[in-house]
A and B are shown apart, each in its own frame.
Chain A
Amino acid sequence: MSSYRLVMRAFPAEYRQEHGAEIVDTANSLTDNRWSVRQSLGLLTLGIQTRSRSAIGSDPRRVWSEGLLIAILLMSSTRAVDLTMWLSGHAARGDIEMIETSSILSWHLAAAVVACVVLSRTTSRHAVALIAALELGPHVASVGSTTLASLLFILAGYSILLFFLNRHGTGARVVSTGVLVVGVSLILMLAVVIQIPFAITGIGLVATTSIGILVSPWDPRPLVASGYWFVVSVGGPSLATAITNTNFAGIAISTGLVTFGILLLVFAHRSLKRITRLGRDLSTT
């Protein structure tokens, strides 16, 4: 498992125990036991797909709970990036006291501690509700109903997607993609509302969510759950702020904008290919 040990974390524990050694053995054979970026990306993609597909079963309550967790994860990571950068920017210009920045970060830290303690013991609906209250309450109060709308769109889109993955439906693929895109677009629009560069929000969203999924809360070990929520709520936003803080002095963020543009294009291209293939499948059946 040596060279691909970390990336195998993307797989659900049961699947990893059942197939992990064989998959890693195959990857190692293909690369003469050397680590390969291409193989790692392939395994990472399969791991996330498998996690989404297998963790749910066919229980509608599980589907909606998982959808809500993903929605909260996306919302909190994006809003944490936005809030941290907004506060850092104003603090750097002297518009706002550092004590206020600290209080917001302290809130995230407190939420992280409570969330990881709860998540390490249960993933019940009570845990979801508690995390939602801790992470989203202040955001909804400060920004307004758009936040709630984004949450609902992502919840609906992801849940439909999970139904599709479990039951091999076809039409749900188009519907869920569309609904998810609306939800994520609403989140990104919030960044414009509070004057955060669009690209930074997008990069923060992708980065923190990816890292968050890799060490996801569905792993019951307290250490893993703690790591997950720390990265999503505090670590990711702080890192993003540290890296991009100079942008607040008015320097254009060309690199970030280009990166985000490429990500959007790749996403759009893949979505279009899927929709085209689906249309062809439907027309032949």
Chain B
Amino acid sequence: MREPTYFILLALHAEPLHGYGIIKKADLLSSGRVRLTAGTLYGALDRLVDDGLLEVDREETVNGRRRRYYRITEYGRHETGLEAQRMRSVVEASERVIGRLPNLGSTGATS
């Protein structure tokens, strides 16, 4: 699973969001590392809906503009969990080889 795809799924874990909301949440969760374009986002959303990991929650019209909200499915939650486990095993293997990893994320965010 690619990193943008993972953060899109993660962004939708708590509540259904529309396109702009997903991009902002993914940006926040990844500490600014995953900055999706509209094209990347909607391509991924189409694919994830086709694969059954997401589904359309509802549509709203705000100021004459239609917004589509997406929510994660049970299958999507399951796949996100598997990916998280895979990444944890990568980190654990790395730490066994090179020792305790420095917290680069928080260092980068504060510098």
Contacts and interface: CB of A to CB of B under 8 A. Distances in A.
Interface of A: 19, 21-27, 29-30, 38-39, 41-47, 49-50, 168
Chain B interface category by residue count: 10 to 19
Nearest to B39: A42
A41 B39 contact: yes
B68 interface: yes
Dominant SS at the B interface? helix
Contacts, number: 57
Contact of A45 (B18, B20, B39, B65): B39
B87 interface: no
B66 A22 contact: yes
Interface of B: 18-20, 23, 37-43, 46, 50-51, 65-68
B66 A46 contact: no
Given A26-B19, A26-B41, A30-B20, A168 B66 contact: no
B43 to A, nearest CB: 5
A30 B23 contact: yes
A22 B37 contact: no
Given A30-B20, A42-B38, 19 more contacts: A22-B66, A22-B68, A23-B19, A23-B42, A26-B38, A26-B41, A26-B42, A27-B37, A27-B38, A29-B20, A39-B37, A39-B38, A41-B37, A42-B39, A42-B40, A44-B39, A45-B43, A46-B39, A49-B43
